[in-house]
Amino acid sequence: MSQVYEKVALIGLGLIASSMFWASRRAGLAGEVRGFARSDETRAIAREIGLCDVVCDTAAEAVQDADLVVLCVPVGAMEAVAREIGPHLKPGATVSDVGSVKKAVVSAVGPHLPNGIDFVPAHPLAGTEHSGPRSGFAELFENRFTILVPEDSARAEATARLRRYWEGMGALVEEMDAEHHDLVLAVTSHAPHLIAYTMVGVADDLRRVTDSEVIKYSAAGFRDFTRIAASDPTMWRDVFLNNKEATLEILGRFTEELFALQRAIRTGDGEQLFDYFTRTRAIRRGIIEAGQDTDAPDFGRVKK
């Protein structure tokens, strides 16, 4: 793989940025990667583990001369960062991000970028339940989608270059507009996360079943909810506050359907339940065929 950018700046050094650094270095995609994180502790860890070629003490210093600047901070922090770096960007540079919502990021960041900057927001659909500078690894994006949401004003060549960068890190790249992105993610990610958080909260609250029972018997289904309900609280707070409309729309639909199934349980309508459960099985097959999961029977089994 050959170099795609001479100089890259990563603002924010958590799971995604650290994985980008290792993936990009493995493939030789960038000449130099500079990193910045707001907290002294994160910068100290980054220096200790060799995360980024240079760790800078200010965002302004990190973005100077960079051909690509990627904002890897929580969605709620994007605007302040954009305001800070705007005046220091190199003319002709590309600015991108890795936020889980796109309409809100476009509104927050766009106005602070000077003319002549190509703004190509992006969202890698990859993550683990861990966060922080030590949590990254080069394989995070392999066989996972990254969605590019190029602004109308961005040059096609800037988008194509960013695509090569993500493909070099192992990602499958797609493009769509910000509004559609936010709806697709509300269905596939934001609503499921809120539902999982809720179910875990209910289990934790229930007096008649102890937490230790919930934990012991979690393999019966509950466990799959806790995995996604363990994600970074700051990130998820910002996702919900910044993709309100689409998330609330999907949750509204969800509640409607849930009530219909509850009613079928209450009235003993076995046929409705059976038909519903048969239909949902087909979607699962599609996911396995698309290579986005495995149906190995010992999936998730703890090695003894």
Those residues whose C-beta lies under 8 Å from the C-beta of residue 88, and which sit 6 or more positions away, are 59, 60, 63, 64
In 173-187, which positions are buried (b, 16+ CB within 10 angstroms) versus exposed (e)? beebebeebbbbbbe
Those residues whose C-beta lies under 8 Å from the C-beta of residue 7, and which sit 6 or more positions away, are 30, 31, 32, 33, 34, 65, 66, 67, 68
The answer to whether the beta carbons of residues 102 and 178 sit under 8 Å apart is: yes
Residues 187-216 binding its own copies (CB under 8 A) are 187-206, 208-209, 211-216
Residues 10-69 binding its own copies (CB under 8 A) are none
Q: Supply 25's token pair.
A: 């270095």
Residues 66-125 binding its own copies (CB under 8 A) are 76, 125
Nearest to 52 by CA among 96, 1, 11: 11
Out of 25, 60, 90, 145, the residue judged to bind its own copies by CB under 8 A: 145
Q: Does 175 bind its own copies (CB under 8 A)?
A: no
Q: Does 265 bind its own copies (CB under 8 A)?
A: yes
Report the distance separating Cα 213 and Cα 90, nearest Å: 57
Give the nearer residue to its own copies in terms of CB position, either 34 or 103.
103
Stretch that binds its own copies, among 3-11, 37-45, 109-117, 180-188 (CB under 8 A): 180-188
Give the nearer residue to its own copies in terms of CB position, either 53 or 174.
174
The CB-of-37 to its own copies minimum distance in angstroms stands at: 20
Q: Supply 3's token pair.
A: 């170099």
Stretch that binds its own copies, among 46-54, 81-89, 111-119, 288-296 (CB under 8 A): 288-296
Q: Does 132 bind its own copies (CB under 8 A)?
A: no
Stretch that binds its own copies, among 38-46, 88-96, 110-118, 239-247 (CB under 8 A): 239-247
Paired strand residues for 70:
10, 96
Give the nearer residue to its own copies in terms of CB position, either 156 or 216.
216
**Amino acid in position 297:** P
Q: Does 291 bind its own copies (CB under 8 A)?
A: yes
Q: Supply 188's token pair.
A: 């596939």
